[in-house]
Amino acid sequence: MFDMHHYETAISKIVSTETEEELILRGHRLSDLIREASFAQSVFLMLTGHMPTPGQARTLDAVFTACVDHAVTPSAMIGRAFASYGTSIPAAIAGGILMFGDIMGGAGEPLARLLTQALQTVAPDGGDIDDQAIQKAAGYLIDQTVQSGARMPGFGIPAHAKDPRAPALLEVAQTSGAAGPFCRLLVATEAELARRKGRPIPINIDGIVAAIVLDMELPPECVAAFVMIPRSFSTLAHHLEEKGQGTRWRHVPQDQVTYTGPMPE
């Protein structure tokens, strides 16, 4: 029987004794991590219980940088609107995160599940996966989604002809040795999607983060969080800037709204 008043955790522990004040994070002193580790290394350690390789740490840091801002996107709009209404920064950051969904920022997790399923289908025993198997997995992915009229999560972006973050992140993952079969499958899927649609629908930020997360053997649930959490800094920055501009009552002007309901008799 589980004791509902007791918590068990392997993540962290507060130490407060006559000789030491410390926080133990997955077997490491936080004061040592503060001195020696990066934010990305500490996040990876906290999530997995072990330190990332240098290549994984470099790539995760690049993921956080890639997600830090994307102009006045919905989470930044929320930051600015909340500043304009005098609403607090914690509320703005929470509101900014709540803007993310299946269409924006949340497409990585379903893609991560599809990528996993596709590789399991062509290589159920794991091991080395050759280019032919990767190609077959890309075809399987397209058959599962686009063939039935659905969109392939992690591909396409309205703001750019090609999402500049994806190739830059892929390059970091490849050169640092953090990229693996999931990044290869993502690239093969981009080519196969272009072939079937007759035009390029490039990998977007959710797509590349999904493949990197899987190649780092992190759970698919991490993908959206890795996009949204760094983006909170964007909500903060836009909130602060808007507040500095002294705007009041940001709203949609009436001439931009068409009322389509009935008028009273």
Ligand X SMILES: CC(C)(COP(=O)(O)OP(=O)(O)OC[C@H]1O[C@@H](n2cnc3c(N)ncnc32)[C@H](O)[C@@H]1OP(=O)(O)O)[C@@H](O)C(=O)NCCC(=O)NCCS
* Binding-site ranges for ligand X (CB under 6 A): 103-104, 107, 146, 151-158, 197, 201, 204-206
The contacts of residue 215 (CB under 8 Å, 6+ apart) are: 173, 178, 179, 180, 181, 182, 183
The DSSP bridge partners found for residue 203 are 155
Least distance to ligand X, CB of residue 85, Å: 27
For ligand X, the closer CB: 83 or 115: 115
| Closest residue to ligand X in the complex (CB) | 156
Point out which residues pair with 24 in neighbouring strands: 13, 29
CB of 63: closest distance to ligand X in angstroms?
Answer: 14
Of the pair 183, 205, the CB lying nearest ligand X is at 205
Minimum CB distance to ligand X smaller for 25 or for 146:
146
Min dist CB 118 to ligand X, Å, is 15
Residue 22 bridge partners (DSSP): 15
Sole residue written with tokens 């906290």: 46
- Name the residue nearer to ligand X (CB basis): 98 or 103: 103
CB of 99 to ligand X, least distance (A): 12
Smallest separation (angstroms) from ligand X to the CB of 51: 30
Measured from the CB atom, the residue of 44 and 100 that comes closer to ligand X is 100
Cα end-to-end span (Å), the chain: 65
Q: Return d(Cα 147, Cα 207) in angstroms, integer.
A: 19
Cβ-based neighbour number of residue 159 at 10 Å = 9
Token pair 């196969």 in the structure block, residue: 192
